[in-house]
Structure 1
Amino acid sequence: MENSVGPEIVHSLAADGLAVGYDQREIIHDLSVRIPTGRITVIVGANACGKSTLLKTLARLLKPSRGSVLLDGKSIQSIPTREVATKLGLLPQSPTAPEGITVADLVGRGRYPRTRWIRQWTKTDDEAVAAAMTSTDVLSIADRPIDELSGGQRQRVWIAMALAQETDILLLDEPTTFLDLTHQFEVLDLLVDLNKQHERTIVLVLHDLNQACRFGDHLIAMKDGAIVCEGNPSEVITEEVVQDIFGLAVKVIPDPVAGTPMVVPLGRHTTRTDRPQDTPPPTDAASAARESGSGNAWPASAEAAAGSRGAGSGASVGAASDSLAAQALAASAAASGICRPSDR
């Protein structure tokens, strides 16, 4: 009889009626959500809205006071820890490694959930670790200590360790924090590759809304411990929603590269009406004064103050600098009763 291979198991993750808090203070209130399988979900929201708390609860690091997290339809609290670790991997916000540990050793620790005292390290483990390091482009630095790596390299190594677990679900808490722009995009591009190549379900917390829109398939917007809305980026990131969850007035326009929503904050000092928009910013105080023209009385008053100061106390202002800008600055400082920057 021909052996038939059954369909690959796709693990599901959901929350039902969650209430979670710290020190008697409830952070998440009656929250229910189902994470789309095989897609990238990004949780967004203001600081202290409950994003990381939700992620930690989904990963079973926090126990809810009410409700439950469901892994494959079963309460995650009822599933043995080692079994959970074979289905779900987590990269916390600020992971720490033992001093002096090498890249290969750290990534190898991702195999811990799949080893037993009766099952020692095998060729399968070697292959899994090598595959994880190849996917994250850290194989060439396998023998280097973690302490010697850049921030972007470290983050890729931590992701490699999570990949070595060979889990179908990967949770990441702010994986781009403290990384420069290049390394941020390297990490996010890597997550997209992992999602496309292996159909992994990826859930991450991000602060950058434009990155969330560009790299996320499904967004969850949170405020005060509750989900305000969820869906694809164009449904979630609107001017009204951003105003609601961040208290910030914005314009949402199409990203010129990806076509996804791009958030442009307005702020209080968005437009400059005191100079032509096609003119580069002035380089010193004097040129700034000249560009301001009659709409700003500062240049005239500054010159007058400088002249008055020079008449009353000799050439102290003139000695500071021959430039009009320095004279104006010194006169303004004297009028305000404060020292010049050069005297501090």
Structure 2
Amino acid sequence: MEKSAVEKPVTKHSLAAEGLAVGYDQRQIIDDLSVEIPTGKITVIVGANACGKSTLLKTLARLLKPSKGTVLLDGKSIQSIPTREVATKLGLLPQSPTAPEGITVADLVGRGRYPRTRWIRQWTKTDDEAVAQAMTSTDVLEIADRPIDELSGGQRQRVWIAMALAQETDILLLDEPTTFLDLTHQFEVLDLLVDLNKRDARTIVLVLHDLNQACRFGDHLIAMKNGAIVAKGNPDDVITEEVVHDVFGLHVKIIPDPVAGTPMVVPLGRHTTRTDRATDIPATSAADVPADPSASPASADPAAGNPAAAALAASAAANGVCRPTDR
């Protein structure tokens, strides 16, 4: 039976890592890390700053060479595959990309087609269509003639994403793609990635800081701490109160997202309950905050429950400690 003209064959390029050890300037960031990226899914890497998220992404993209272990693209060491061939299968949007001075939006997005051109294959209508589609998807078509230097941070980020899309790879890696974007454009970009995943079965790996966005848009989550994987799997298994506290050092409550039904992270900070908003807070919420073992019982504090008395007590304590003559 003849295939439909709009039907696109589904490719199944695979990406994995075995026993990775990666570092900078004699400092080890990742040690003995192995991971398999689910093919045709959206994987989100989460973790605190400097935990190794970007290092892992760069190593998977062959920007960093591991001192030990290997990255496998379609079961072969990525180091053994020609650069141009890698670029037709795997695309990367780094965290802080740079562009030549004065280059326009259309020219930059067009450079995403570089891996698919040869000296015997010049620019074609297919390339035009890919670039136009990428710019339309990211809402930058109207600024195609403007220099990158004149754009806002959010506009630049969308242009870089358009360039990655124009590359038309089956695996797309993005390091914090929502940086600099306002809330509306953050969701537009994440919705776009879901569209790409559903339409082309594209494998997408991205680093995000927002755990709620990670849960809503990710099929598979990887939580990292100190260069190691702490948990991996679907959002319900990875984003638990215990894992979030272990990875971020933050006490949270996990509730169902009222829109998506995925885990929703509600942080419990020192000012979770505000005395000036007490009437708006459920009576049980204060009891859910983890107890501070260093705190004294309320009954032992004569100022407990009396803001005026507490303020006077604090003032008296400060007067006895912070006098300039005592320093």
Q: Distance in 2 between matches of 1:293 and 1:14?
A: 57
Return the index of the structure with the highest Cα Rg: 1
Hey, what does 1:277 align to over in structure 2? 278
Structure 1 pair 145–220 and aligned structure 2 pair: CA distance change class (3 A): same
Hey, what does 1:138 align to over in structure 2? 140
Contact 1:13/1:69, CA 8 A, preserved across alignment: yes
State the TM-score, normalizing by the size of structure 2.
0.83
Quote how far apart the aligned CAs of 1:249 are.
Answer: 0.9
CA RMSD, Structure 1 to Structure 2 (Å): 2.8
Query: For 1:36-55, what aligned pairs fall within 5 Å after superposition?
Result: 36-55=38-57
SS at 1:11's partner residue? coil
Q: Distance in 1 between matches of 2:165 and 2:267?
A: 36
Structure 1 pair 29–128 and aligned structure 2 pair: CA distance change class (3 A): same
Per-residue Cα deviation, 1:224-260 (whole angstroms, up to 9, x for no partner):
1111110110110000001111111111111111111
Query: For 1:107-146, what aligned pairs fall within 5 Å after superposition?
Result: 107-146=109-148
Query: Is the counterpart of residue 79 in structure 1 residue 81 in structure 2?
Result: yes
Structure 1 pair 296–153 and aligned structure 2 pair: CA distance change class (3 A): same
Quote how far apart the aligned CAs of 1:153 are.
Answer: 2.3
Contact 2:10/2:200, CA 8 A, preserved across alignment: no
Structure 1 pair 3–162 and aligned structure 2 pair: CA distance change class (3 A): closer
Hey, what does 1:171 align to over in structure 2? 173
Hey, what does 1:258 align to over in structure 2? 260
SS at 1:278's partner residue? helix
Structure 1 pair 138–296 and aligned structure 2 pair: CA distance change class (3 A): same
Letter in 2 for 1:46: A
Structure 1 pair 185–3 and aligned structure 2 pair: CA distance change class (3 A): closer
Contact 1:43/1:221, CA 8 A, preserved across alignment: yes
Q: Distance in 2 between matches of 1:276 and 1:199?
A: 47
Contact 1:152/1:184, CA 8 A, preserved across alignment: no
Aligned-residue sequence identity (percent) comes to 84
Query: For 1:205-224, what aligned pairs fall within 5 Å after superposition?
Result: 205-224=207-226
Hey, what does 2:160 align to over in structure 1? 158
Letter in 2 for 1:164: A
Structure 1 pair 299–228 and aligned structure 2 pair: CA distance change class (3 A): closer
Quote how far apart the aligned CAs of 1:6 are.
Answer: 11
State the TM-score, normalizing by the size of structure 1.
0.79
Q: Distance in 2 between matches of 1:101 and 1:112?
A: 16
Quote how far apart the aligned CAs of 1:9 are.
Answer: 2.5
Letter in 2 for 1:277: A
Q: Distance in 1 between matches of 2:277 and 2:15?
A: 54
Q: Distance in 2 between matches of 1:134 and 1:69?
A: 33
Q: Distance in 2 between matches of 1:120 and 1:28?
A: 42
Structure 1 pair 112–150 and aligned structure 2 pair: CA distance change class (3 A): same
Hey, what does 2:299 align to over in structure 1? none
Q: Distance in 1 between matches of 2:217 and 2:206?
A: 11
Hey, what does 1:297 align to over in structure 2? 309
SS at 1:27's partner residue? strand
